[in-house]
Amino acid sequence: MMTEDFAKFFQTMMESGQSMARAFTSGMGADPKAFEAFMPTLPKDMLEAFFGKTYNPEGLDARTRFLVTIAALTMLGPVGEPQMRLTLQNALKAGATQREIAEVIWQMSIFGGLPAAQKALEIARAVFAEESAE
């Protein structure tokens, strides 16, 4: 059970995070393309260095880390669209396949519901189409 003090703390924390996000991305609004321009995808070697096994050689590789992140972002539904688009692009560059990405998203439909999974698949299809057009 959430206490009133914890609820206030949580609300303050969320408001502070939203305020910081607005400050960092001022002028972008909710445009996913603007977010992508702000944080472009990284080359595969850099992805592996930053998100892969550089800091934990026995840990997950960058591909797996991005698949796990896609699972988490799927649960957010439309709220996480800009981050989802960027993560999908980086996952593909890190070696994830379109099929693996789709399977991860569908697996999350069990936990996050069909609307969240459908939104994530819609975003994935758009990213896949953009990647194949390049």
Mean pLDDT of the chain: 79
Q: How far apart are CA 116 and CA 77, in angstroms?
A: 4
- Give the tens place of pLDDT for each residue, 86-134: 999 999 999 999 999 999 999 999 998 999 999 999 999 999 999 888 7
Mean pLDDT confidence for 38-43: 59
pLDDT of residue 73: 95
- SS3 sequence, 60-108? CCHHHHHHHHHHHHHHHHHHHHHHHHHHHHHHHHCCCCHHHHHHHHHHH
pLDDT of residue 45: 66
Mean pLDDT confidence for 28-34: 55
CATH 1.10.3720.10 fits 60-134, yes or no: no
